[in-house]
Amino acid sequence: MKRRSNPEGAEIVRNKLIGLGENSMRKSYYPELRDRIYELERFRALVEHANDAFFVLDVSSWCFADVNATALKKTNYSREELIASSPDSIFPKETCELMRAVSSESSSSTFHRNEDISLTELLGKNDVRVPIEITVRVHLVGGTPYLVMVARDVTRKLADQRELQKTRNYLGNVIDSMQSILVGINEESKVVLWNASAVMGTGVAEKEALGCYVFDVMPEIRKFKQLISRTIRNEETGKTEVFCVEQSGGTVFFEIVVFPFKGEGEAGAVIRIDNITDRTRMEEVMVQTEKMMTVGGLAAGMAHEINNPLGGILQGSQNVLRRLSSDLEINQKVALECGTTFDTIYAYCTKRGIISKIESIQQLGERSAKIVANMLQFSRQTGGKQDCTSLTDIVNTAIELSSSGYDLYQTKGNKGVQIIREFDDSVPDIYCAPSEIEQVLINLVKNSAQAITSAIKEGDNKVGKIYVRIRRVGNYVRLEIEDNGPGMDAETKKKALEPFFTTKAIGEGTGLGLFVSYFIITQKHKGSFVIETSPMLGTKIIIKFPVASQCFGLE
């Protein structure tokens, strides 16, 4: 038979005992009994109004002997309903199994085993579920084993833990999503923080890095050991240094910043490392651009200075040829005055090659004048102004500049470079900045010429050829620069458009030619720039420009 607690009967007995005590105050044991009752009442009040739910389970009958008010509040049951309920309906199956396992030891001579369940649930009325932490203790009362269970509502605790974990995850994601390498160290310079960029940059997993001496997992920063130590001691704050590391792809530049860190009773530092290679190279590009602008200004000044004596040479050679022309009567008259005939003078000049040499001087002078004019046009600061222009004219001008600037026609033994032009006469104009397109053509022709001449060996009968083709393809003008040089392998082609990448010897190239050309075509002129190449099969650069009418939306 189940043993039931009777709160009303207990109250009647208590009142009778109190009344009996009032009527027999003279007897010494009545005051002691009354004090004991008051003490029990105070204890009952403490238990009844505690924040934790109390359950007392009679092990022998497996029913509740008593519960407190908090237990009723958490389960939404009345006292009568909860006392009459089975423990299996109040606690999950796993908790009840543990309670039975603990109570099965009731035959033991001692019953002081505690079982702490980190997390379980309280199953209340109307499917109410309250997350709790519960402590189970076995007690013997009058030879009867009881389980005393204290259940603490952890709803808010779990919510706080979830919020804390959410915040931690958010901060962790922020730290890991940063492109900078972030490393936190303690006073002993051991790693306590290692973000995803640090894993990617060093190849060391977070588990392997945590707790390690930072200079063991990042030997590249040993040179900053004193800086880091001073920062930990708060003698330095946010000092920035730059260092470089030689890698397979070339020199990589990094910027390191060290910040002091102060926690609760802890000290350390946060190290931030950024890859500034692109920024460094861009700064070098800007410096190089400034240099080129200066050189361009000097070239323009020199061209103006050359123009004056060159004009005198052309005028003088033209006058000499006029003095040797039989069409002018004055020439024959002066010859007779000198005691000879003009025909004799002309025959002498012809046999001695004087006339041909003067004609050659005039031709070379005219060519030089054209080169100077092209240099002035190329160096003129137009501010990138674009206009409808003939691509054929631009290409011809660029070839003339390239031929004079890089001596493409000079031969060494049987070695030489020929430029073969294949232009379609029906090609429409394009909308562009002529000086910029000339710069692109000069860079590409120069690259092809240098690749060809460097690959042809002494005594080789092979003649280097550069094909320049212009034709229309749909709404685009297609420009091709193809050579029969050594070509590129896959790795070289992959890096060809990167700034500062060059296969030339030190001092022979900056590695900016293709990079600048690609930028001018694709970004400034909305065209396309494609490299087709294979080892020993030459290189072809294919450039496409929208035709001028396309730029204005006329087609």
In sequence order, what DSSP letters do the residues of 308-377 get, joined into one string? HHHHHHHHHHHHHHHHT-TT-HHHHHHHHHTTS-HHHHHHHHHHTTHHHHHHHHHHHHHHHHHHHHHHHH
Which alpha helices (DSSP H) does 418-473 contain, by range? 434-455
Residue segments in the chain with a per-residue pLDDT below the cut of 50: 1-10, 12-14, 16-18, 20-21, 24-27, 107-114, 381, 383, 406, 409-414, 554-555
pTM strictly above 0.95: no
Q: In what order do the strands lie in the sheet with 250-262?
A: 191-194, 181-186, 267-275, 250-262, 239-247
Please tell me the distance from the alpha carbon of residue 70 to that of residue 67, in angstroms, as a whole number. 8
Whole-number pLDDT of residue 110: 43
Choose among 239, 201, 196: nearest CA to 217: 201
Greatest Cα pair distance, the chain, in angstroms, is 179
Whole-number pLDDT of residue 2: 42
Q: Which residues contact 501 (CB under 8 A, 6 or more apart)?
A: 250, 495, 511, 515
Please tell me the distance from the alpha carbon of residue 166 to that of residue 164, in angstroms, as a whole number. 5
Whole-number pLDDT of residue 462: 73
CA 555 to chain centre: 41
Are 270 and 183 contacting, i.e. CB atoms less than 8 angstroms apart?
yes
Q: Which residues contact 329 (CB under 8 A, 6 or more apart)?
A: none
CA 445 to chain centre: 35
Indicate the helix (H) or strand (E) that contains 527: none
Place of tokens 């001092």: 507
For 456, phi then psi, to 5°, come to: -80, 125
Choose among 276, 195, 271, 190: nearest CA to 236: 271
Q: Which residues contact 483 (CB under 8 A, 6 or more apart)?
A: 448, 449, 451, 452, 464, 465, 466, 467, 538, 539, 540
Whole-number pLDDT of residue 482: 93
Three-class SS state of 463: coil
The upper half-sphere exposure of residue 220, i.e. CA atoms within 13 Å in the direction of its Cβ, equals 18
Whole-number pLDDT of residue 472: 92
Whole-number pLDDT of residue 10: 45
Are 397 and 438 contacting, i.e. CB atoms less than 8 angstroms apart?
yes
What is the helix, strand, coil percentage profile of the chain, to 5?
50, 25, 25
- The pair of structure tokens assigned to 270 is 């946060």
Please tell me the distance from the alpha carbon of residue 358 to that of residue 452, in angstroms, as a whole number. 35
Whole-number pLDDT of residue 506: 56
Please tell me the distance from the alpha carbon of residue 448 to that of residue 273, in angstroms, as a whole number. 40
